Amino acid sequence: MLGASYNASLGFAAGGIVSLVSKSGSSALRGNSFAFFRDDTLDATNFFATSKPELSRWQYGGSLGGPLWFRNGFFFGNYEKVRIREGVTLGNTVPTTAQRNGDFSALGRAILDPLTGQPFPGNQIPASRMNLVGRGIVNAFYPDPTNDATSRNFIHSPELVQDLHLGTTRVDWNPSANDSFMVRYQVYWDDQVNPNVAGTLPRLAETIIKKNQNLGFQWTKVWNPTTVQEVRIGWGRIRNARLSSDTDDWNALLGITGTTSESVKDRLTVGPPRQCHRVLVHHTVFQPVHPHSQQLAIRVSARAEPRRAFDALRG
């Protein structure tokens, strides 16, 4: 672990640097395997949940290393998978049936008319003053309450889905006592559907996809007892995507014009509107339709880096 003062060859990002050494194979075939399992059968029900949320976690993998068919060639590989299906108990406040129809007399605070600045009579909004897009947002994204309370009246247990794959493959070849070659490939692939984001309403889950790859080559040459040459070539590719799990074009369905989705249909333009804060939302305690913890994005970066070093010892 390098916390600071590392050289420029490691300066791809700020913060700490974790340096790992991958394992090589040997002249004998060896390996191992492992597995871990957890299930909701042995769990208690969450205090706020109406039923026990699902929980299924599998984590398994193994490694294998040994000789190759050619002289002084060795291989090593490992694989690990994490599979999680977990119910997450979430609670929020949604409009009651009366409030959906414009009746806020039980709210305990005044609902102001945005045109006059004065309270609506009886704290009731006339049907003629309700915006069609706003009504569509309420009907589409706010479910019916699960209890009779006026706050935290919607409890549900959506499922957190995660499939994580980790793998490494390494090949070593030592053609002579003075030369050694190594090639290594690593992959980190993580797919998630996360319901526990900024909004905790049913349709506001986000999909997170991370696929990171790394390829490395190393040649070590001993020229003489005091001089060693090391050549390294590394390549890495990072692809991180944060997308809406709901792929409906809600701008078109709700009649919201002047948006990107009118001309571009992809995972970055569809889904729930990014912001649906309305006067009604600001004057109540309802969860705004704000579906993503961060801006939707697909980030791809790749980098290749060669390095050559000579170490000479002088007595």
The full set of domain ranges for the chain reads 8-94+142-246+291-312
Confidence bin at 5 (pLDDT 50/70/90): low
Q: Which residues pair with 191 in a beta bridge?
A: 163, 209
DSSP state of 32: E
Question: In the prediction, which pLDDT does 279 show?
Answer: 38
pLDDT greater than 60 at residue 222? yes
Which pTM does this prediction carry?
A: 0.73
Provide the pairing of β-strand 227-244 with 159-176.
unpaired
Helix H or strand E segment including 276: none
Residue 19's pLDDT is: 73
Q: How does DSSP classify residue 114?
A: T
Task: Name the band, by pLDDT with cuts 50, 70 and 90, for residue 95.
Answer: confident
pLDDT at 48 over 80: no
How confident is the model over 287-292, as a mean pLDDT?
A: 54
Q: Among residues 41, 38, 64, 60, which one has the least CA distance to residue 52?
A: 41
> Of the given ranges (83-87, 204-208, 228-232, 258-262), which has the lowest mean pLDDT?
258-262
Structure tokens at 171: 């090949």
User: Which residues, in sequence order, are bridge partners of residue 91?
Assistant: 155
pLDDT of 208 > 80? The answer is: yes
**Long-range Cβ contacts of 40-44 (<8 Å, 24+ apart):** 40/87
Q: CB neighbours (10 Å) of residue 5?
A: 5
